[in-house]
A = this chain, B = another copy of it.
Amino acid sequence: MIEISASDQYLTASPDSLLLDIYDALPAGLYPPFPPVELPGGLGGLVSRGGFAQTFFFGAEVLGLTFVAPSGRRVVAGGRTVKNVQGYDLTRPFVGSFGALGYAETVTLRLRPGLASAHHSRPGTLEDAIGSRARFLWQDGETLHAYHFGHVRDVESVMAEFGGTVHEGTLDYRSMFPGGMGVGQGGPLRDRRFGWQSGSAVPEMPAFFARVAASI
């Protein structure tokens, strides 16, 4: 299930939605908070891991979700418009909690407008691109990727600074992660937050968060 509101600039989708299927479903000029690559677990996996490759705060792009807590209870978190934001919002703890708060049933993401987009790649590492204004940056082995959308001139300028060449086609990284997409520096992909490797390794969970997870 992928439902798009172009006028209000959000989408609501089931967690099994593939990331590239979401790209295909979007009308021209609206973009989601992830690059056009396929990753393990589709949208649900992406949200559980706190996004991929973004250089902005991903948590703010998840407007709301419903999830089933470890206790089996269903939680409705967040909303779609400022009027729905009443507080008591568990959206952000769920995002990037690597499953500790349960599993999502539906996810609502903010969409952002852009008149153009571009995907470049070049040899390099994330450290080479510390000042880049690209919305998404990731390193695949010894290749650095940048994806950006926005005004035409903005996209041109970001890509001119980044260098490299136009990357044709989309990427499917799922086969890199036969054991699931876990964190760790030894793996094939990196973004500004984590190294990503096959397996189920997650960041260390603070004690207070474990108590929250057990309480819901």
Task: Judge if A100 is at the interface, Cβ distance under 8 Å.
Answer: yes
A153 — which chain B residues lie within 8 A by C-beta? Answer: none
A interface majority secondary structure = loop
> Would A89 and B96 count as touching, CB distance under 8 A?
yes
A98 — which chain B residues lie within 8 A by C-beta? Answer: 87
- Taken together, the copies of this chain in the complex come to 2
Q: How large is the interface on A (under 10, 10 to 19, 20 to 34, 35 or more residues)?
A: 35 or more
Q: How far is the CB of A120 from chain B (nearest CB, A)?
A: 20
Q: Mask for A44-60, Cβ within 8 A of B = 1, else 0?
A: 00000110001111111
The CA-CA distance from A73 to B89 in the complex, in Å, is: 20
A212 — which chain B residues lie within 8 A by C-beta? Answer: 90, 212, 215-216
A205 — which chain B residues lie within 8 A by C-beta? Answer: 88
Q: Mask for A32-72, Cβ within 8 A of B = 1, else 0?
A: 00000000000000000110001111111001000001000
Q: How far is the CB of A57 from chain B (nearest CB, A)?
A: 6
A158 — which chain B residues lie within 8 A by C-beta? Answer: none
List residues of A (170-216) whose CB comes within 8 Å of B's CBs: 192-193, 203, 205-206, 208-209, 211-212, 214-216
Known A-B contacts: A50-B85, A88-B96. Give 17 more (CB < 8 A): A50-B86, A55-B82, A57-B60, A58-B85, A75-B208, A82-B193, A83-B192, A83-B193, A87-B97, A87-B98, A88-B93, A88-B203, A88-B209, A90-B93, A208-B216, A212-B216, A215-B215
What is the interface of chain A, defined by CB distance below 8 A to chain B?
49-50, 54-60, 63, 69, 73, 75, 82-83, 85-93, 95-98, 100, 192-193, 203, 205-206, 208-209, 211-212, 214-216
